[in-house]
Structure 1
């Protein structure tokens, strides 16, 4: 391949990477592992959200794009995380995550899958991914690692709220979904206050957190069921605002990762 063609192909691959997440070099650093494990938590919820969007007919083309991107990113990050195994606990949890993902992943390929199986599957993946994130944070052993993990959890909560909203709209596990949405909303607000108060925040982090707050305002409004509003339009608003707040929060996590890596 000519050098010019190679550079063009490399640039195209970089542009296609979701949420600014470039492929990791061999042996990723621990702050990067915390970020990636935390992103697996988010992807467990985002995949269910996208599947539900497809089932409900909400922005179907966008739903398929999100789902394909999410599955691909999860697979790639499993490989990334295998390059950073600081403890037996991490090694065991990573194997468990791969096992749970192998059971859940096939359900996402068919809108006829049992919604309750999708509910159980994404919750199982989330549970192990969270334990893995905590294990990486413990291995790093620095307060800055906690901020990476906490900010990363906000990404997950943004998708968890949307997922719960769509399960409720589908009338599957509607009661637990309503409770999940309420709890996730409270947890997001509490964690956002903790992040804003972090003493190590740089001016840029504070600015970006302010932009998250703006997106949070719009997202909260979208999540409220309003009388007289077309359900499809309301669902589309939830889908789009959940993606916007995710993108902004992912940027914040990247800044905390850079801070932790110093």
Structure 2
């Protein structure tokens, strides 16, 4: 038994050493704490690309449907600017080759999406934008998970989970609009049910997480209340009223979950600081 304990201890020590070396190799000019802080920000940025890809496709289809078009155009401009600033933030740090490759893949998918947005929304272009947004989201998901693995901290998973809520809210709204435009792909309805279930489950998990502050609890409560309005609209057929409700409540959900992601990011930085 004593031998097993010693081996277990040695194994844990070696694992801790390897994790420390990984962070040191990640950014050799920074301290371990600084490197972890940079990773926390990277997780947030990579995770945000998931939401931005879906938000762009959502409002592009929204313009096509003539649902609050002026608001949608403003959101589209803002989302495209956030994509550019996100890549600028990630470019400020030096990452290992594999992580750099993953960020480059997001950029590649984003560049293709950007070329499609110069076209006025038509049935064909909306379908193309929606398909490309999913490719960008998939690349962003892979990069977010890779950054989370490098972070090696439980709080990093909270940043990822809260950040994914942003993407789910936008994909739900995008798919609702695609259904309204009769442009949904095969399996869209099933995707919407799965996203709604994942969003509800994640909210429960976040509420039960040990990392909590009054601000986090407040945003979780706001998220729950916004979800009731958002989900209520999603459950009804896409008439003019429900289309507008989905457009506005999806943006409110995004705002709440973005603030919540930032709060978890700040909590992680406080632990590391």
Q: TM-score, normalised by structure 2?
A: 0.82
> What is the RMSD of the two structures over their aligned residues, measured on CA atoms?
1.6
Aligned equivalents of 1:61 and 1:94: distance in 2? 32
Give ranges in structure 2 of 5+ residues lacking alignment.
1-35
Q: Any idea what SS the aligned residue of 1:109 has?
A: coil
Which of the numbers 91, 101, 104 marks the counterpart of 1:95?
104
Superposition map of 1:237-252 within 5 A: 237-252=245-260
Task: Tell me: CA distance 1:240–1:86, structure 2 relative to 1, closer, same or farther (3 Å).
Answer: same
The answer to whether the Cα contact below 8 Å between 2:39 and 2:147 also exists between their aligned partners in 1 is yes
What is the aligned partner in structure 2 of residue 13 from structure 1? none
The answer to whether the Cα contact below 8 Å between 1:28 and 1:84 also exists between their aligned partners in 2 is no
- Kindly state the Cα deviation for residue 85 of structure 1 after the two structures are TM-superposed: 3.7
Asked if 1:54 corresponds to 2:63, the answer is: yes
Give ranges in structure 1 of 5+ residues lacking alignment.
1-26
Q: Any idea what SS the aligned residue of 1:29 has?
A: helix
Aligned equivalents of 2:94 and 2:208: distance in 1? 32
Asked if 1:86 corresponds to 2:125, the answer is: no
Aligned equivalents of 1:88 and 1:124: distance in 2? 21
- Kindly state the Cα deviation for residue 73 of structure 1 after the two structures are TM-superposed: 0.8
Q: TM-score, normalised by structure 1?
A: 0.85
Larger radius of gyration: 2
Query: After superposition, what is the alpha-carbon deviation per residue over 1:155-206, rounded to whole angstroms, capped at 9, x for unaligned?
Result: 1101010001001111112542212211110110111111000012123211
Aligned equivalents of 1:243 and 1:116: distance in 2? 22
Higher deviation after alignment, 28-37 or 186-195: 28-37
Number of residue pairs matched?
233
